[in-house]
Amino acid sequence: MDDRAAGQLLPESPATPTQELVLVENVTKTFDYKDALKNISFAVPAGQICGLLGPNGAGKTTLFRLMMGILKATEGHIAIDGLDAFDDRVEVKRRIGFLPDEPVFYSYLTGREHLKLSAAMHGLDAEETFSRMEPLIARLRLADDIDNYAEDYSRGMKKKLGLLLAMLHQPRLLVLDEPTNGLDVESTHLFYSLIHDTAAQGVTVLFSTHLMDHVARLCTHAVVIQGGQLAAKGTLDELRALTGKDDLEEIFLALTARPAQA
């Protein structure tokens, strides 16, 4: 089966680039009198792929946790599809598929059982949902292991299962925290091929990564944060114009060396 055909999991819906699916306005998050994020503002247009870039400790994971309603912003506001990320977090979670950097599973459940349990938690028919997911399971090369216990999965297999769980309920937004950490070259290619095809079906994707070549190939937009503050935002061409550099790795190094925007 053709990889792209196998990935047609989500209903077709036209991308609307002018609509802001993710809106972050003047967000500050303070822990113990220290600002993990300070006055961050940016938007992600619907149907686009946006890279969230920054050095380790820049605040990327904190920002993702705010979007998921796990944390509440000290100041400012985050809207997902027009809903408040914290106040409307139950409904927001129905519209977001989240893949953490280190997904955690029940060791005594198989991959299949995890998918069926998640389907039931989303109010979906478990058997019908698993049947709908089977082409995607095959595309991610997980079919031979789907009935094995999660405790026996490698790190890469856990990432694949985590991505399946993130996509299971057909979200409007995928939030992926370092999605290819620990993956081999083939699995990384499968992940990013799927992300590309998913966005082509109208799903918005926001992901963090340290792999600049993948950002250059996949992303339409990028947000760069440094020390919890915004360093730059915009299309890749706008970032090139801002720094006067063409290579994305050089752009990243230039932006993270600059004083963050006020």
CA pair distance 184, 177, nearest whole angstrom: 17
Q: Which of 258, 261, 259, 248 lies closest to 53, judged by CA?
A: 248
Are 257 and 84 in contact by the 8 Å Cβ rule? The answer is: no
CA pair distance 168, 98, nearest whole angstrom: 11
Q: What is the pLDDT of residue 20?
A: 84
Q: What is the pLDDT of residue 109?
A: 97
Write the single-letter amino acid at 119: A
- DSSP code, position 118: H
Q: 19-105+172-257 has which CATH code?
A: 3.40.50.300
Q: What is the pLDDT of residue 11?
A: 32
- Taking CA atoms, 17 is separated from 20, 41, 44, 150, 222, in Å, by 8, 18, 9, 38, 14
DSSP codes, 168-208 = TT--SEEEEESTTTT--HHHHHHHHHHHHHHHHTT-EEEEE
Q: What is the pLDDT of residue 257?
A: 80
Please, what sign has the CA dihedral across residues 252, 219, 243, 229? negative
Q: What is the pLDDT of residue 261?
A: 54
Strand partners, 53: 224
Cβ neighbours of residue 232 under 8 Å, at least 6 residues apart?
A: 222, 223, 224, 239, 242, 255, 258, 261
Name the pTM for this structure: 0.86
Q: What is the pLDDT of residue 216?
A: 86
Q: What is the pLDDT of residue 7?
A: 38
pLDDT along the chain (262 residues), means of 10: 38 45 96 92 93 90 94 96 95 94 93 96 95 95 96 93 96 93 86 90 91 85 93 91 88 77 50
Can you point out the beta strands (E) in the chain? 20-31, 34-45, 49-53, 75-80, 83-84, 96-99, 173-177, 204-208, 221-226, 229-235
Strand partners, 80: 22, 83
Q: Which of 102, 105, 98 lies closest to 152, judged by CA?
A: 105
